């Protein structure tokens, strides 16, 4: 079984997220999605609209996702790859090069982002419609 992992906040789920999850799943047989915990988001200076538990619930309902785990810190990726027997690490191409250190443990693939959609864009547009 070929296992794939990806990371993200996955707040305000949209078709760009679904596209990423589908393409990640297409790279293997089993997809693990690590989502930023609320505490980790605070450390990163981010605030999600949905809580960790609600984002986890939403992701677990998506057919491409086999398992959801928390991301609590930047340093846990090597441990996650080893603990979950990951073969492929996937991130959006806005992170190109930042996770190349994982190439010692698994394949690292950066996928092109979906054009025309982002959570930042959604938040910006919602703020202007008030």
Name the residues annotated as catalytic. Answer: 44, 46
Closest CA to 4 of 67, 97, 57: 67
Whether 120 and 127 have beta carbons less than 8 Å apart is answered as no
Q: Which helix (H) or strand (E) holds 111?
A: strand 107-111
CA distance 126 to 17: 18
Closest CA to 50 of 14, 17, 11: 11
């Amino acid at each position: 079984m070929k296992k794939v992992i990806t990371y993200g906040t996955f707040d305000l789920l949209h078709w760009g997220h679904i596209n990423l999850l589908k393409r990640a799943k297409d790279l293997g047989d089993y997809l693990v999605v690590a989502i930023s915990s609320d505490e980790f988001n605070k450390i990163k200076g981010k605030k999600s609209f949905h809580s960790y538990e609600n984002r986890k619930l939403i992701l677990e309902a998506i057919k491409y996702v086999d398992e959801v785990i928390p991301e609590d810190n930047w340093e846990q990726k090597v441990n996650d790859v080893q603990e979950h027997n990951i073969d492929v690490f996937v991130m959006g191409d806005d992170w190109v090069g930042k996770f190349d250190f994982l190439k010692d443990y698994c394949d690292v693939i950066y996928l092109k982002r979906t054009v025309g959609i982002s959570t930042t864009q959604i938040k910006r547009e919602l703020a202007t419609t008030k």
